[in-house]
Amino acid sequence: MTAPTTGPAPAPLGPLHVTATVLASRKVGAYHHLTLVAPGVPERFRPGTFVALSVGDEPGALSARLGRRSFWIHRVRASGGHGLTVEIVVEVVGPGTAWLAGLPVGSRVATTGPLGRPFSLPKEAVRCVLVGSGHAAAPLFPLAERLRERGCAVSLVVAAPDEAHLLSALEARRSARAVTVVTGDGSVGLRGAVADHLAEILARAGADVVYAAGPSPVLHAVAQAAETHGAWSQTALEEPLVCATGLCHGCAVPVVGEDGAPRTARACVDGPVFRGDRVRWADLTGSPR
Amino acid sequence: MTLTMAGLTLASPVLVASGCGGTGRELVPFLDLTALGAFVTRSITLDPRSGGPMPRLVESPAGLVNAVGFHNLGLENFLATELPWLVQRGVRVVVSIAGSTMGEYADLARRLGSAPGVAAIEVNLSAPDSAGSGVLDVREPFHAGGVVSAVRRDLPRGIPVLAKLRGDVVRVVEAARTVLEAGAEAVVVGNAHPAAMPDGRPGGLSGPAIRPLVLRSVAEVHAALPDATVVACGGISTAADARSFLAAGATAVQVGTALLHDPTTVARMITDLEGPR
């Protein structure tokens, strides 16, 4: 049988692989905020998508470190003379992220994005609670803006172990009606784990939908609290990604399919945003049982 | 730059290696799939497999160690969804297969042989994490030969069999000779090299770290079996790498790990190989 010969379908909203330039790099608390000029990427951004960066070498040279480093897109902003830029939040956890954090302005970085399935936006103006833990609060700020544009009431919860790891808590007030800050050591806001305060926060906000991003134990707690409260939840997972593009099948997420059957999804292309009631949290590596 | 490989006409000597191209769809933003020599699927098993525990891939200098554990949707679903998607787009598809018994390999071959659009079968005889994943752990060349004859017997003549062997130079010539005698039309020399994950689980090392090992094996197979069709696989990341393997006697090359680092690698290699050196 001869198959019809056609080129690939055009994918106007698909990811791009570009050479990005570091426009700004500044340390804010425990994090490094990198502003990247990545032509075409900001135009395709939707909240919950991310970029994958190569580390350790100039684009084109084959780095000894082959895995990509993935980061939430925190902001898309117009920057005089450079058009739209993307801002990411880097937490130094190893040599790759240390290399990125130390890049001087003007450095070039191979960048792929935006990648992944974004948060789904509600069709109607509903009451939303957004829960972000540590640097993973990054995608919730642009999400809050989109939700407010749709007339949704937005309550934002920003959580961290301490003040240094609290992401942009002051700026949070610009994008949300109510902001709750939770720190593990109580240095700012409520003391304790975000999970301890969820029931009260969801009740006070009368939440219809809960959006969350952070480590899987936090997301598990959010999914449970949302279910108890009777709200939908959308959780953005932070599984370690190697290729970040769906090629390697290295980022397994145990899920329940639409038909109720257990399946294994890929965090990078089937996620990173999953419905909270679709993830088999107990089977997710690293989740407490 | 069309060429003939095991009776197939290929648009390019560059193939996407098994397990490194997702389902094919994920490459569409970065690559015209019809410009490929072929797309080799990840290894398909008879039943769906959810794969191994996390972590499944870790970095190693100039390489990756993987223990993905044959995460795939199983033959039935593959025939219903992924294969037709590729075939409808005019992609030349080589289906990689893995089984836990000789009978499973034969079963897979029989059913794929009657599916429209399968250009060739690649028999995975060298998965570095097979033992822990319940897939036939092929260690002896005569085992490899046995699997290839079972597959060949159940496959229509027009569909060539590519036998994918370990890149380990010690027994590669013997293994190549055995599978060719058993009816394989070509040998793929090199797979992820047997290695271990940091916690000791069986895994495979791939990427530029293993490229010189595979180049040695390709050269030895070509010297011992000059008429054999050899496809090289292991750490090939640039057009210059591809040229050195073609010069050593390979007819075509497979690119895997390099795609995980940069999804545009293969498109660039295809273009570079068309041009002057």
Domain A127-283 sits in CATH 3.40.50.2300:
no
3-state secondary structure A160-223: ECCHHHCCCHHHHHHHCCEEEEEECCCCCCEECCHHHHHHHHHHHHCCCEEEEECCHHHHHHHH
The type of residue at B50 is S
Question: Coil, strand, or helix at residue A14?
Answer: coil
Residue B277 has a pLDDT of 66
Residue of A162, A163, A107, A171 lying closest to A138 (CA atoms): A171
pLDDT digits (tens, 9 = 90+) for A43-83: 999 999 999 999 987 766 667 899 999 999 999 999 878 89
Place of tokens 């044959």: B70
Residue A38 has a pLDDT of 96
Is the CB of A64 less than 8 angstroms away from the CB of B32? no
Residue among B34, B57, B117 minimizing CB distance to A248: B57
Find all residues with CB under 8 Å of B5, minimum gap 6, and list them.
B13, B37, B186, B229, B231, B251, B252
Is the CB of B28 less than 8 angstroms away from the CB of A112? no
Please state, in angstroms and rounded to a whole number, the distance separating the CA atoms of residues B195 and B193: 6
What are the tokens at A230?
């009777």
What are the tokens at B113?
């042989």
* Burial bucket for residue A190 (CB in 10 Å: 0-12, 13-18, 19+): middle
Percent of residues, chain B, with pLDDT higher than 90 = 92
Domain B3-274 sits in CATH 3.20.20.70:
yes
Is the CB of B66 less than 8 angstroms away from the CB of A250? yes
Closest chain A residue by Cα to residue B68:
A250
The type of residue at B252 is A
Put simply, the chain A residues between 31 and 90 with a CB less than 8 A from any chain B CB are 54, 62-68
Domain segments of chain A: what residues? 16-115, 127-283
Contacts of B262 in chain A (CB under 8 A): 17, 54, 110
Residue A285 has a pLDDT of 63
Domain segments of chain B: what residues? 3-274
Is the CB of A269 less than 8 angstroms away from the CB of B262? no
Contacts of B51 in chain A (CB under 8 A): 249, 252, 264
pLDDT digits (tens, 9 = 90+) for B90-139: 999 999 999 999 999 999 999 999 999 999 999 999 998 877 788 888 88
Which residues of chain A register pLDDT less than 70?
1-12, 59-62, 170, 285-289
Is the CB of A68 less than 8 angstroms away from the CB of B261? yes
User: Residue A264 phi/psi, 5° resolution?
Assistant: -115, 120
The pLDDT of residue B252 is above 60: yes
Interstrand relation of A83-90 and A178-183 (parallel, antiparallel or unpaired): unpaired
Contact A69, A96 (CB under 8 A): yes
A17, A18, A24, A30: CA torsion to nearest 10: 20
Please state, in angstroms and rounded to a whole number, the distance separating the CA atoms of residues A273 and A211: 9
Contacts of B30 in chain A (CB under 8 A): 17, 245
What CATH homologous superfamily does A16-115 map to?
Answer: Translation factors (2.40.30.10)
Is the CB of A64 less than 8 angstroms away from the CB of B62? yes
* Burial bucket for residue B199 (CB in 10 Å: 0-12, 13-18, 19+): exposed
What are the tokens at A155?
């309550």
Closest chain B residue by Cα to residue A240:
B55
The number of CA neighbours under 13 Å toward the Cβ of B91 is 29
